[in-house]
Amino acid sequence: PLETIGRRQKAMVSLTGFTLIEILVSALILALVMTGLANIFLAGKRHILHTRSKIQAAELGRLFLAPLQMEVKQSDWNSSTNDYNSPNLLRKGTRTDATQPPIDGIPYTATFATDVPPGFAVTSPMRKVKVTINWTEPSF
């Protein structure tokens, strides 16, 4: 019986396995790797949503400029009856379009400003039109 106890102790000592500390360290490393991967995924999603918002804003800007192209001719800029000249804009100024209906839950607001391009006289029929699209991106 004494020999049997000695053999059992040797057998128990020779068994290999992981200690509790090794398992905890492995779990911690796995958690850090998974956190890093989740952050990369979220950053990619944020970038995709931001790019999508910029594309939608560009399309809205294009749609906002389309009526201006049809309604305004260079020869009409100095006309006193032109809505884009005086008295509404006095040859320079800003006008805000109504807020567009939300797209994907994001409200967009379009604003355009007219100005005389550098190097041209105020009486020149040339105007520079700048369209600004504003929106608030969702945070998650």
Rounded CA-CA distance 120/14 in Å is 92
Rounded CA-CA distance 138/140 in Å is 7
pLDDT at 66: 75
Looking at the whole model, is its pTM more than 0.85? no
Assess if residue 3 is contained within a domain.
Answer: no
Which tens digit of pLDDT belongs to each residue from 59-80? Answer: 888 887 776 666 665 555 555 5
Residues of the chain whose pLDDT is less than 50?
86-93
Assess if residue 10 is contained within a domain.
Answer: no
Number of structural domains (the chain) is 1
pLDDT at 140: 64
pLDDT at 74: 52
Assess if residue 55 is contained within a domain.
Answer: yes
Which tens digit of pLDDT belongs to each residue from 13-23? Answer: 556 788 999 99
Assess if residue 75 is contained within a domain.
Answer: yes
Judged by DSSP in three states, 140 sits in: coil
Rounded CA-CA distance 5/9 in Å is 6
Assess if residue 6 is contained within a domain.
Answer: no
Assess if residue 120 is contained within a domain.
Answer: yes
pLDDT at 90: 35
pLDDT at 12: 60
Assess if residue 81 is contained within a domain.
Answer: yes
Assess if residue 5 is contained within a domain.
Answer: no
| Alpha carbon 119 to its chain's center | 36
* Residue numbers of the domain that contains 59: 19-135
